[in-house]
Structure 1
Amino acid sequence: MSFRRQRASRACETCHARKVRCDAASLGVPCTNCVAFQIDCRIPTPKRKKVQNPGGQTNKDSDSDRDGFEDRQPQPASGTSVNVYDRAPTISHSTEGTPSASKTEAQTRQEEVDSSTYLNLVMKPKFTRAPITEAGRVAFLGESSNLTLLVHDRQGFSDVVHYPLPENIRGSRARLTELDNVEIDILHQRGAFLLPPRSLCDELIDAYFNWVHPIVPVINRTRFMRQYRDSKNPPSLLLLQAVLLAGSRVCTNAQLMDANGSTTPAALTFYKRAKALYDANYEDDRVTIVQSLLLLGWYWEGPEDVTKNVFYWSRVATIVAQGSGMHRSVEQSQLSKSDKRLWKRIWWTLFTRDRSVAVALGRPIHINLDDSDVEMLTEDDFIEDESDRASQFQPNPVHVHFFLHDMALADWLQNCPKTVYWEMPRHHFCGSSYAG
């Protein structure tokens, strides 16, 4: 069954107290802000006498499309609570529950494109040496792939495994036009299109690059900040929400804290927004997806949860990365120099996270270096200079050396889970732990 939201004629108490935009009047109760923080949405009782505001203006940030973020977790206010989710939905069998067997025109057209795309692609001359202008849209063909055999048969042997993804199967950077109304409504309900006020957003991003980025250097900071400052070419919304999530964990701005001084409610909001975008396949740039998945691990509900923690998200990120061929050397590929460096940093970040998480949580390791031929990182791999412009942010030597040593430590740690699980008797391990 479906629920219809009760529409309100004014802002709820929480949004009114925080002086943020409330969509209860347009979307109904509960508003998006209250849903995001999982609190009751209360509409204040109208007084007998109302004072008309002559100006009729509401406070807005200079960048209006960044309004609507809850400054901190609102405290429950007095008044009558309105909650449309008090009653569980009825689950029933009906013909409406049967999936549609018909294809849309877009699906039919896409199938026709997919069936001939790669076959036509490998027939093109100089296919293996075509420049890769978009690092997030790369086709990876392993040596045992049937398509690899066709490429070698047609064009001779090649040590290249990364190819430019064909134009006709590359979606737009933001797939909003491909989502149906239900998916778009879900994203709106989750507040996925909402960002904090510009000043708070700036502070969160600064906190991320100061404290999180040195540990997981998976973003080209120069490129990200250039897009962030360009309203006509902004960064991926998925990646931005993920950066805000990680940044909220290390940012000390009081606007992000609840009554206990915790930023967990704010982090949960960013997590839900980023995850909603990921679940909707909003982003199709594979590098961006890997970057975002890694950062989703900065939210963790608790030790009993196994699907919303760093172990889960780092594994998912690794799977996507391997599907794109990040575990293979890109030195012979046609990626740009800056993208080659970024790919290497992403792969070795995945490796360090894999080993550190396995040891810290007592879990199995995931990445087998026998499957990888990516060269070890060097100090030069942290340079973000591009062919036509120098980097605005030069590598911090302390951060570079830290990560290089962290990578070496992770390589040494890879045998720890194996030794503890299989080679060391349980009583010996426990005894040695207490003996220390």
Structure 2
Amino acid sequence: MVNLPQISGYRRIKRAARACQRCHARKVRCDATVTGYPCTNCRLDSSPCQAFAGGRERRKQLALARARATASEGLKSVTHCAGRSSSEKRRSSTVQLPVSSYQFIQPLEIGKHNLDRLPLLKQAGCLILPDKLDLDVLVRHYFLYVHPFCPLLDEAVFWRAYKRTRDGAKQIPLLLLRAMMFSASCFVPAAVATRCGYDSLLDARDDLYTKAKALYDSGLEKNPLTISRAALLLTFYSSDFDVYANSEWLCIAIREARVTQAKHVHSEELMSDADQTDFRRLWWSCLIRDRTLALGMRRPLQITAADPYPPMLTADDVSDEIFGSVVYTYEVKSALFELLTSLCHFATAVTELASIAFPPSCHAISSIEDPCGELEKLGSAKSALLLWELDWISYMEGKNSSLHPSIPLFSSLLSIHYQSARVALCNRTCFVLNEINDYRTRYFHQLQLCRSELIAAVASVAAHVRQLMVIEAVDKLPISIAAYTTTPYILLSINSQSNAKQSQDLLVLFTAVNRALGTRYHLTRVSNLTSRALWLSKLLKDSSEEEVFDIPRQTNLFTLSLQQYTRLLQYIDGSMSIPRDSAQETEVLYAAASFIPRELSVYATEEPVNDELTPVWLEAMGNFFFGPGNGLALSLCESPRKEDVDTPICAQLDCDDSFSRSLQLPWVLDTGLELLET
């Protein structure tokens, strides 16, 4: 026998003591006893994996099977029909899907009545998940940047299910995982999107949203808790053309959350401690998202003050999560939970303000029946915000910022939420004061105070934006930051026109933030809104040639008078919920610009067109936004017909949303200015 030379470093791998049935039949190496079942071969081939029984064990199993067959022989004829029907039912509900290879995915409940939906889902790619490594990145970024302010899940429970570290661990519904992937897609590195086959993060975000929506539309998911969680995560979707998608998803999330609670009430079953914690997590997340959308998009609340508030989340509710987090340490997780608690208190404190500033009534925004009474309500809302601010400054702001970059990130986000509430409070106060004829005498001091508050709030938003630039956390900002910085950006741009060096420096920061957000979100509509608002502000200032001597110049709001400022606010707030390139977008702009005094010869011409006068500014605006000769045929020079005055604008524009229905054309708004005369 020839002695072969020993290879340096070579060590023969010891064979497994017992292979699985499939590897034994194929006579290939099996690592089932090392890694567990399924083995690597069966897992890669998506095949069932069972232990191989030896000769002695096979004989025992065969004898046991013969005994069972003999015992059940007498009942075979009785149970034949029932057994056949149950086997057919199992065949109809057990369908091999591409996601079945992932053990942590909860199987879809598919019956005969919805088997026809599978081909559509397969064609759309809803049943195929990314590579495990890329999926790990998406899930980790979800818990890094979405979960801290939207605590839908118990992170420790999720990781046990995702890693299958415990027998009998809960599985994850596919719809929920799809929604998590979508909400985290804007925070992952661009290389992850490239590996998944996308050209950009925007493409990845749109595609993941489309697949999650298709899975929801299929109706395969029946659990209301899962549907509510997934719908709430889909509220982070934004589009230039589908501007109401976030509010519609929020409505679904709130509805399914109430169904979840009603199931226990009607069945007279007491909710377990775990179920109560899950419901409190869900309902507080809905509350936070409702207030966030109201402040950012200027929309009415869907969860009003009349709805009962669940008990506040405590440290006992999240103790397992704090110690079982995979992405944060115990100290960081505890600090983030304190920020979440402050956010929950802020959601309750801002409720009264949001109810006043964004009422659900169709005409409440354009007209105020009792301005003095509303000022008192705004004072009460301001007190609630001030009490929250005192607690925030005393206990939370700037605390534990050195532990992890995520702490100053979420701390700045919470501060921007609060400063946006201050801006909304001041803007609503200005609108109410503009409705009072004697505000220059009786409420002059309140106007000055409102002006100071507004300047301080805008400056604070800019300071926090600067801090986010310093810590390089701009790419981790949510889509809501674009809505919160729109009004401050416009006001600072107006102020910079007077050569204010400080305002120009701050504009550079906002421009850099918008440029970074534009790689992850659709912001073309917001950019168009900003440019049109700046054009409108210049038009308003240029139209005011007469000097007003009885109003001190220090009461001006960012170089605009109170009347001009409220006119600009109406346009900004109204345009936040208007789709891009729609006719309504132009109508609102024309409506805001049509209140320029007609007697100014610089904006009017004496040349009759179709027996009427056409303002030069109207033609110039159409040429600027639509090109020469392509302006929309919106005749603001005509006197309104009676049916136009009697018919609400919500019926004229055929709008579904209550806030968009509140937009009024110039002949509906009562401002004391006459329409352009022919």
TM range (shorter): 0.5 to 0.7
3-state DSSP class of the match of 2:151?
coil
1:411 match = 348
**Alpha-carbon distance change, 426 to 262 in structure 1, aligned in 2, over 3 angstroms:** farther
1:350 match = 286
1:94-136 CA-to-partner distances (Å, cap 9, x unmatched) read xxxxxxxxxxx9xxxxxxxxxxxxxxxxxxxxxxxxxxxxxxx
**1:92-241 alignment runs, 5 A limit:** 174-230=108-164, 234-241=171-178
AA of the residue aligned to 1:412: A
- Distance in 2, matches of 1:403 and 1:326, equals 27
1:334 match = 270
- Distance in 2, matches of 1:325 and 1:240, equals 23
Matched, 1:324 2:257: no
TM-score (norm 1): 0.53
3-state DSSP class of the match of 1:415?
helix
3-state DSSP class of the match of 1:208?
helix
AA of the residue aligned to 2:270: Q
Cα offset for 1:419? Answer: 2.7
Q: Which has the higher contact order (CA 8 A, sep 6+)?
A: 1
- Distance in 1, matches of 2:227 and 2:113, equals 18
**Alpha-carbon distance change, 195 to 261 in structure 1, aligned in 2, over 3 angstroms:** closer
- Distance in 1, matches of 2:180 and 2:337, equals 20
**1:209-288 alignment runs, 5 A limit:** 209-230=143-164, 234-256=171-193, 262-288=200-226
Aligned pair partner of 2:334 in 383, 388, 397: 397
AA of the residue aligned to 2:251: R
Cα offset for 1:335? Answer: 3.0
Alpha carbon RMSD of aligned pairs, Å?
A: 3.7
AA of the residue aligned to 1:290: S
- Distance in 2, matches of 1:245 and 1:236, equals 15
Cα offset for 1:326? Answer: 7.4
**Alpha-carbon distance change, 376 to 234 in structure 1, aligned in 2, over 3 angstroms:** closer
Conserved 8 A contact 2:288-2:344:
yes
- Distance in 2, matches of 1:173 and 1:277, equals 14
- Distance in 2, matches of 1:429 and 1:277, equals 49
Q: List gaps (5 residues or longer) in structure 2.
A: 1-40, 47-84, 86-105, 359-363, 365-373, 375-427, 435-446, 455-490, 492-556, 559-678
Cα offset for 1:179? Answer: 4.8
Conserved 8 A contact 1:328-1:373:
no
1:63-91 CA-to-partner distances (Å, cap 9, x unmatched) read 677xxxxxxxxxxxxxxxxxxxxxxxxxx
1:122-163 CA-to-partner distances (Å, cap 9, x unmatched) read xxxxxxxxxxxxxxxxxxxxxxxxxxxxxxxxxxxxxxxxxx
Conserved 8 A contact 2:235-2:247:
yes
**Identical positions, percent:** 24
Structure 1 window deviating more from structure 2 (190-199 vs 407-416): it is: 407-416
3-state DSSP class of the match of 2:261?
coil
- Distance in 1, matches of 2:305 and 2:317, equals 20
**Alpha-carbon distance change, 405 to 429 in structure 1, aligned in 2, over 3 angstroms:** farther
TM-score (norm 2): 0.35
- Distance in 2, matches of 1:306 and 1:242, equals 19
Aligned pair partner of 2:306 in 370, 374, 382: 370
Conserved 8 A contact 2:176-2:226:
yes
- Distance in 2, matches of 1:247 and 1:230, equals 22
Conserved 8 A contact 2:198-2:204:
no
Conserved 8 A contact 2:190-2:201:
no
3-state DSSP class of the match of 1:239?
helix
Report the count of equivalent residues: 265
AA of the residue aligned to 1:276: A
Cα offset for 1:338? Answer: 2.6
Matched, 1:289 2:227: yes
- Distance in 1, matches of 2:304 and 2:277, equals 21
**Alpha-carbon distance change, 392 to 211 in structure 1, aligned in 2, over 3 angstroms:** closer
2:536 match = none
**Alpha-carbon distance change, 181 to 339 in structure 1, aligned in 2, over 3 angstroms:** closer
Q: List gaps (5 residues or longer) in structure 1.
A: 1-59, 66-104, 106-171
